[in-house]
Structure formats: structure tokens, C-alpha cells
Amino acid sequence: MSFIIDKQTIDDLNIFPKNGKNSVFNIYNNTQTRGGSILLEEMFRHPLDNLDVINKRQAIIRYFYKLQIDFPFHGSIFDAIEYYLSNTDTRTQINASENKLKKQLQRLIQTDTEFQAIQKSILGLIDVINILDDFLKGMTSGELADTDISEIEDVKRIISDEKLQFVKSESGTKKLSLEKAEIYDTIFRYDMNKDMRKILSFIYKLDIYISLAKVAQKKDLAFAEAQPADNNILDMKGLFHPLLTSPKANTIKVISENNVIFLTGANMAGKSTFMKSFGIAVFLAHLGFPVPAEEMTFSIRNGMYTTINLPDNLNQGYSHFYAEVLRLKKIAGNINHYKNMIVIFDELFRGTNVKDAYDATIAITEAFAENRNSIFIISTHIIESADILKERCSNINFVYLPTGIEDGKPKYTYTLSQGITNDRHGMMIINNENILDILIKNNTHEK
């Protein structure tokens, strides 16, 4: 089973590009091959919930992070090789049984078409195998003991196959004779087609791991320490949002004794950004990828649901409030079914009146607090609910994002503080933008 995540959460966290906007995937996708990019997207769509698999993947990325090496291949050749290996129609095979004159005529006819394309792919594969052979010889097997060593050995076995002994001798060759092309084409496309595809698949993984290592170096990302689910801990130091150019870092620690985070703060104080940063780090950690933080320790979770940018479902006649209710219903069912979940709700019950929002915030937060195995983050403007929750629940961590005043205008720190905010700067922002004056002038003008 994999880490549970749905489309709403993927969209909330900007995991994939949407409407031309930047995304987490774009930041992490520094691959040099199309095959590597496709495989990386597949990884992004299937985060993991297995401790051993996460640690294994992370160990590979750490290895290349330590080596600080470049991807040794030219990515442009792989599309041609992929097409070449996929075209196993025997009518395109160079026929070794034809007489010499017919071969010469065939070569003349095919100079700018099939033969040249086939020859280019054969020479491309020869270069790829030679480069890969040298690359693998430079890798230290001992340091890869906890990684994909079995796959590496399989690739080495293919490269050392006696059928491929010609590869070393043809290193650097720019043009093949028709006779050699016939032999090599038969070996690559027909006799060892599956083996060649294994080599390409392995290279695409190399592309991903080297790419991720470079992203970690460039963005100053950390390798999260994964722990068993039963440890029930999530500790983030220097957490930041990877899509921001000058992000503010925050630190948060969650254990069973404070597994509900109750977040308050004025508008534009940074609540949504913090919650997205939190969710992105959790998501990436469950991929085994470097995370946007100075340090991170986490217990494996079953999945995560966020509700940050919940749209109205007008097509089905749902108001925003009812869309919130349906979202809660779905999440409640999964919390009851799975042991360890992460739930993030931004501005819980913003779609209803203040009295209902107050009552519902208390009731739902109190119900969440009964589950000590899962982690909950709830942000709200209904700060009055905090007093009741303090009395009723011992495992809520009350934090807020403060707002100062400078020259009559709000100044945001974007840094978490313990407690509950009393900041109410909505009217100040409205007045600073002279909205009331504009409306008064408009009304006077109309009269």
C-alpha cells in the first residue's frame, strides 16, 4: 500500500503545475532525459509508506549527493534509442543474407533514411553502454550496499555479456560497415532488446537520483530521518516553502502529547504558507526525497489530507460550507479506517456564519483531539474558540503568526510564536487602502 493522498491535497500543495504556475515538481525535476522526467513524475504520484523503501531510496540520493557528480550522458540521444528499440518490425531489419550488390544498393537508397537512423541508434547505444560501464566501475559497491546494488549487478551482467564484446572495440566509431550494422542491429533490437531496455530504465533512475542530489545542494535541502510509525513523532527545524524566493523558516515539533496544532493569525500573516510548507515537507519525506528544512525527523504516516483552497462545487449545487462538510466527512472516514494520518484544515468553516463556525470549530477540533495517533493542523479566525478548547483538550498546541504595527501599517514576521493571537487588523487594512473614502466619493458623485 502507498501513502494516501488525493487530488485536493495535490492541488493545495502545488505539487504539479497548474494554470502555468510554478510547482514543487518543477523545482525537483532537473532531469536530463525525457524517460527520467516521466519516471520522476510517476514517483511523485505514488509517495511511500514503507520505512525500508523510503530509507533505501534516500540512501541512493545521499550517495550521489556525497559524490557531487554530473549525469554522464547526453540526454538527447535517448529518445532516438527508445524509438529504435521499440521498432522491432522485421521489415526494417538489415538482412545479412542479401548479396553484396543488393546490400550496396540498399545502403545507397537508405543513406538519408532508415539505414542512417538505425546506424545512429546503434552507435548511440554503443556510446551509452561504454559510458555506463566506465561510470559503474567508478562507483564504490561498499557504499551502495543499502541501495539498488542488485540492480547494478544485473546491469553489469548485461554489459559483460559475450554478445556485447564488440562494444568496447567500437568505442568512438563514427560510421559502421553494412556488415557490422547488420550484426549489431540484430543483437540490440532482437536478441537483447529486453536487456537494452533494462539499461535505459537504470539510466533514467540514475538521472533522477543525480538530479535530486543536485537540487538538494542548490536549494540547501535536508535529508529527513524516517522512523517507524509507532514512534509517532514529527520534528521540523528550519522548515520553509520551496517555491518562495526569500522564505521565512519555522520550527515545529509534534508528538502524541501535542498532536493538534491550533494556528491563529491575522489575514496575510502567513498561515496558509506555513501549512503548505508543512504539507510539502511531509509529502517529500514520504517520497524519500530531500526536504525544505534544516532538519526533519518523521514517523511514517498512512497518508495526508489538506483543505486549503477548497472550491465551491457549483455544478452539483454545493455551497462552500457544504463542500467543507463533505470534505470533513471523507476525512473522518479515513481517520477511522487508517491509524496514522495528517490532516490540515485552513480556515475551518469559513463558509458559514460566525456562531455556527464557533460551535463547529470547537466540536470538530475536540473530536480530532481524541485521536492521538494522527496529526491535525487547524487554522481559524474564530480565536474565541481557543478558550474552550484549552479547558477541554490537553493535547492542543496553540501557536500563532504575529503581526506588528509600523507607521500605522501591519508588519508581518511570518515566524511562529506560542499562544493565541489577539491581532485584528482587518479594518486597518481596509482604511489604509482608502476603500471607505472611495465609496463615499462615489456615493456623493452619484447624488
Residue 426: pLDDT above 80? no
> Comparing 353 with 123, which gets the higher pLDDT?
123
Residue 205: pLDDT above 80? yes
CA nearest to 211, candidates 78, 66, 16, 65: 65
Amino acid 240: pLDDT: 97
Residue 144: pLDDT above 70? no
Amino acid 146: pLDDT: 47
Least confident piece of the model among 41-45, 68-72, 161-165, 353-357: 353-357
Residue 237: pLDDT above 60? yes
The whole-number average pLDDT for the span 213-233 is 95
Amino acid 138: pLDDT: 81
In the chain, what percentage of residues exceed pLDDT 90? Answer: 67
Say whether pTM exceeds 0.75.
Answer: yes
> Comparing 101 with 12, which gets the higher pLDDT?
12
The structural domains of the chain, ordered by start, are 31-219 (1.10.1420), 225-446 (3.40.50.300)
Least confident piece of the model among 20-24, 78-82, 171-175, 327-331: 20-24
Q: What is the mean pLDDT of the chain?
A: 88
| Three-class secondary structure assignment of the chain | CCCECCHHHHHHCCCCCCCCCCCHHHHHCCCCCHHHHHHHHHHHCCCCCCHHHHHHHHHHHHHHHHHCCCCCCCCCHHHHHHHHHHCCCHHHCCCCCCCHHHHHHHHHHCCCCHHHHHHHHHHHHHHHHHHHHHHHHCCCHHHHCCCCHHHHHHHHHHHCCHHHCHHHHCCCCCCCCHHHHHHHHHHHHHHCHHHHHHHHHHHHHHHHHHHHHHHHHHHCCECCEEECHHHCCEEEEEECCCCCCCCCCEEEEECHHHCEEEEEECCCCCHHHHHHHHHHHHHHHCCCCCECCCEEEEECCCEEEEECCCCCCHHHCCCHHHHHHHHHHHHHHHHHHCCCEEEEECCCCCCCCHHHHHHHHHHHHHHHHCCCCCEEEEECCCCCHHHHHHHHCCCEEEEEECEEEECCEEEECCCCEECCCCCCCHHHHHHHCCHHHHHHHHHHHHC
Residue 145: pLDDT above 50? no
> Comparing 215 with 117, which gets the higher pLDDT?
215
> Comparing 404 with 241, which gets the higher pLDDT?
241
Least confident piece of the model among 30-34, 121-125, 189-193, 405-409: 405-409
Task: Give the model confidence (pLDDT) of 51-101 as tens digits.
Answer: 999 999 999 999 999 988 999 999 899 999 999 999 988 877 776 555 455
Distance between CA atoms of residues 124 and 145, nearest Å: 31
Instruction: Give the number of C-alpha atoms closer than 13 A to the C-alpha of residue 153, restricted to the C-beta side.
Output: 8
Amino acid 33: pLDDT: 97
Least confident piece of the model among 191-195, 325-329, 431-435: 431-435
CA nearest to 212, candidates 75, 24, 77: 24
In the chain, what percentage of residues exceed pLDDT 70? Answer: 86
Task: Give the model confidence (pLDDT) of 374-395 as tens digits.
Answer: 999 999 988 899 999 999 999 9
The whole-number average pLDDT for the span 292-313 is 91
